[in-house]
Amino acid sequence: ELKVEQNPLFLSMQEGKNYTIYCNYSTTSDRLYWYRQDPGKSLESLFVLLSNGAVKQEGRLMASLDTKARLSTLHITAAVHDLSATYFCAVLPNAGGTSYGKLTFGQGTILTVHP
Amino acid sequence: EAQVTQNPRYLITVTGKKLTVTCSQNMNHEYMSWYRQDPGLGLRQIYYSMNVEVTDKGDVPEGYKVSRKEKRNFPLILESPSPNQTSLYFCASSPIAGGRNTQYFGPGTRLTVL
């Protein structure tokens, strides 16, 4: 069974600081997704990472994937209040298996950015 | 507008009373999925469907049923709801499973079972 673990689960940051959220997963996969959820809202797609070494950047967020280490990171640069939200990573097993469409989410990281 | 819709958005019901939460997408997506979200547990997949008439269990399928008779609709059925099914439910769709195809999520249905 695929397991996905994020850490930290809670992150309180000051504006202007940098930090990284980690997403570890337990089985071979090169299909990893990051989502953002604002309080009381649905999920919004941030990044799609599909190969070892993939790096994607959007504004102050940068995501990377190391499939050999089974690790993805979401790096926050110079945090601002608007980044306060819950961030989820999610993993799909590689094609060819019986669970090809079975998406497993991490627990989520609640990020709060303070002035 | 491309979207995933869910109905109802909020529902309070009693134990044992059958209910259906509808999900519809207008993007001609093949892949659809249901999740429940509970505090501290993230999102857990209930069922998914790779295409019409093709459904499969996710991580927490017990107590739920689904059907995919047409591409745009993927209803979630609770035959005999119990209080432990009180949760926030999301439906999602994508063109196909995986690859560059991230999922588009519906607005959510908050279900309370008394």
Is the CB of residue B13 less than 8 Å from the CB of residue B77? Answer: no
Confidence category of residue A63, pLDDT binned at 50, 70, 90: very high
Residue-level pLDDT at B59: 92
Residues of A in contact with B107 (CB under 8 A): 42
**Which has the closest alpha carbon to A87: A33, A25, A37?**
A37
Query: Is A107 in Cβ contact with B106 (below 8 Å)?
Result: no
Mutate which of A28, A42, A100 to test chain B, going by most B C-beta atoms within 10 A?
A42
Phi, psi of A5, deg, nearest 5 = -125, 130
Neighbouring residues of A42: CB distance < 8 A, sequence distance ≥ 6: B90, B105, B106, B107, B108
Q: Is the pLDDT of residue B57 over 70?
A: yes
Q: How far is CA A110 from the centre of its chain?
A: 12
Residue A97 has pLDDT above 80, yes or no: no
Tokens 């739920």 belong to residue: B64
Mean pLDDT of B63-89: 97
Cβ pairs A/B, distance under 8 A: 63
pLDDT digits (tens, 9 = 90+) for B15-48: 999 999 999 999 999 999 999 999 888 899 999 9
